Amino acid sequence: MTERTLIKDLAAASDGAISVSGWVDTIRDQKKVQFVVLRDESGATQLVHPKNFAEDGTPLADELADTISALTVGTFLTATGELKHDERVKLGGVEIKLDGLAVVSEAAVSPIAEDSSGDKRMDWRFLDLRVPKNSLVFKVQTTFLHALRTYWVERDFIEIHTPKLMASASESKAELFEVDYFERKAYLAQSPQFFKQMAQPAGFGKIFEVGPAFRADPSFTSRHATEFTSVDTEFSWIDSHEDVMKVHEELLVAGFQAIKDKHGDEIKALYDVDVVVPTVPFPRVPLAEAKRIVAERGYEVPRADDDMDPEGERQIAAWALETYGHEFVFLTDYASSIRPFYHMRHEGDAALTNSYDLIFNGVEISTGAQREHRIDVLIEQAKEKGLEPEELDFYLDFFRYGVPPHGGFGMGLSRVLMLLLKMPNIREATYLFRGPTRLLP
C-alpha cells in the first residue's frame, strides 16, 4: 500500500504514484472529466478522472466514474493515483490523476451551509470546523501557546496544574458554580489565583499555568463565556505591578511574532487581517486619566463603581491607536473598591491598587497586579470586602510562614484570539463554547 502523503507536502513530492486521504470538499462532474477537491488537515488538492469513451463517443463502463458520481460532500476517502505538477492548476500547482478511490466513511448531506446562523453552526461545530478559516484559529492558538511556553521555560518558569474543585471562593461567591462533592459542597475554580500564589512561599519563584476557569456569569455578550481557558503567571521578588506589566508585554510580543511568522500570510488571506507585532513598552495610562481622555473624546463613563465600561475601553483603545499607533494599552491604578482583597494598595493611598487591566483592540483581555503579601494587611482587606478570614484560613496560611513580594496576571486565551483575528464573537475563537444556554455539543 502506498504511504499516505499530507496534501501540504504534495508540492515538494516527485511526480508519480501517490496516496492522499481526507474528505470531499467539492465535486465537479462534467461530461468528459470529473474533478474532486479533497481536503485534509493540512490543505486541499485536486483529483481528476477523465471518463472513458469509445472512438465513436459512446460512454464505456467506468466503475471509478460511477463511484465519483455517487460521492457526497464530506465523505472521507483515500485516493491513489499519479501526481503531476502543473502550474496551470490553481490549487497548489499539482493534481492527482486517479487510479482508485476507497470510501472510508460516507457522509450524509450537511445540515449547515455557509450562511447558517451562528447557533446552528455551534450545534454542528465538528462540521463547521472543517472550513479552513474556522480551523485556522486553533493552529494559531497552538503556535501562540507554544511561543508563550517557550518564553516561560527559557526564563526558568515552572509549569503547574492547579485543582479546579475548590472549597471556597477565590474571588466573588456570586460568580461560583456550586457542585455536590460527596457530603459537602465544592465550587468550580474561577481562577488559579490562590494556588499560583501558594507557589511563592513554596519557593517556586516563577510559575505559569494554562487551564480551564469557570464563571457563573449570566452574560450574553460577544466576549463572555462560562468556561474559558485562562493563561496565568505569577512570580516573586517584584517591586511593583510595573514588573508584571513588563513580563506581560514581552510575553505577548513573543506570541504575536510567532503567529506572524508562521500564519501571517494565511491570516491575511482568510481574515484580511495584518498581524501587528506590538512594540514595547505598551502605553500605560492611570484609570483616572483614561476617564478624562475618554470624556474629552465626548463619552462620559456612566459607571459609579470606579471601573471602565465597554464603550470606555473602546474609546481609550482608539486614543492609544491614534496617539501611539498601538493596539494595546495598560489601564493602571484601579480603585481598591473594585479590586479583590489580595491586590496590594498604593503606599500612602489605600484607595488605589498596584493593579492594571490590559486592553487589546478595545476589549479588556487581562487583569494583573502586585499581590499583598503581609498577613495582617491581607486579613484587614478581606474583612473590608465582607469575607470571613476563617473561611480563607487555608489561603491565609500561605502568608504566615514567610512569602516574598510577588504578582502576576490572568488572561483569557479566546479573547486574545478573537481580537487578534477581528472575529465578531468569542464563540468563533473557542473550540466548544460554553455559555448560559449552551452545554452541547
User: Per residue in 203-223, pLDDT tens?
Assistant: 999 999 999 999 998 989 999
Average pLDDT over residues 104-126: 95
Binding residues for L-aspartate: 171, 215, 367, 371
Task: Kindly report, residue by residue over 262-320, the tens digit of the pLDDT.
Answer: 999 999 999 999 999 999 999 999 999 999 999 999 999 987 678 999 999 999 999 99
Q: Specify the pLDDT at position 161.
A: 98
Task: Kindly report, residue by residue over 335-362, the tens digit of the pLDDT.
Answer: 999 999 999 999 989 999 999 999 999 9
Query: 94: closest CA among 28, 18, 185?
Result: 18
What are the residues whose beta carbons fall under 8 Å from the beta carbon of 71, sequence distance 6 or more? 24, 27, 36, 77, 103
Q: Could you write out the DSSP letters of every residue in 126-189?
A: HHHTTSHHHHHHHHHHHHHHHHHHHHHHHTT-EE----SEESS-SS-GGGPPEEEETTEEEEE-
**What is each CA distance from 317 to 105, 221, 327, 355, in whole angstroms?**
49, 19, 7, 18
Binding residues for ATP: 364, 412-415
Is pLDDT above 70 for 41?
Answer: yes
What is the residue whose three cell numbers read 494559531?
140
Task: Kindly report, residue by residue over 4-39, the tens digit of the pLDDT.
Answer: 999 999 999 999 999 999 999 999 999 999 999 999
Q: Specify the pLDDT at position 58.
A: 84
Region of residue 422 (left: phi > 0; alpha: psi -120 to 50; beta: else): left
Contact (CB, 8 A) for 191 and 232? yes
Task: Kindly report, residue by residue over 236-248, the tens digit of the pLDDT.
Answer: 999 999 999 999 9
Q: Specify the pLDDT at position 171.
A: 61
Domains of the chain: 7-105 (2.40.50.140), 122-429 (3.30.930.10)
Report, in angstroms and rounded to the nearest whole number, the Rg of the chain calculated over CA atoms. 27
Is pLDDT above 90 for 2?
Answer: no
Dist. CA 107–CA 405, nearest whole Å: 59
Task: Kindly report, residue by residue over 167-185, the tens digit of the pLDDT.
Answer: 876 665 668 999 999 999 9
Query: 248: closest CA among 309, 143, 329, 308?
Result: 329
Element (H or E) spanning 413, and its range? helix 413-420
Binding residues: 171, 215, 364, 367, 371, 412-415
What are the residues whose beta carbons fall under 8 Å from the beta carbon of 352, sequence distance 6 or more? 333, 334, 335, 336, 345, 346
Q: What is the largest CA-CA distance in the chain?
A: 98
Quote the DSSP letter at residue 389: G
Q: Could you write out the DSSP letters of every residue in 274-319?
A: ---PPPSSPPEEEHHHHHHHHHHTT-----SSS---HHHHHHHHHH
Contact (CB, 8 A) for 206 and 156? yes
Query: 410: closest CA among 200, 154, 195, 216?
Result: 195
Dist. CA 402–CA 117, nearest whole Å: 55
The mean pLDDT of the chain is 95
Q: Specify the pLDDT at position 174.
A: 67
Contact (CB, 8 A) for 80 and 103? no
Dist. CA 365–CA 414, nearest whole Å: 9
Residues 241, 242, 248: CA angle, nearest 5 degrees: 90
Q: Specify the pLDDT at position 304.
A: 67
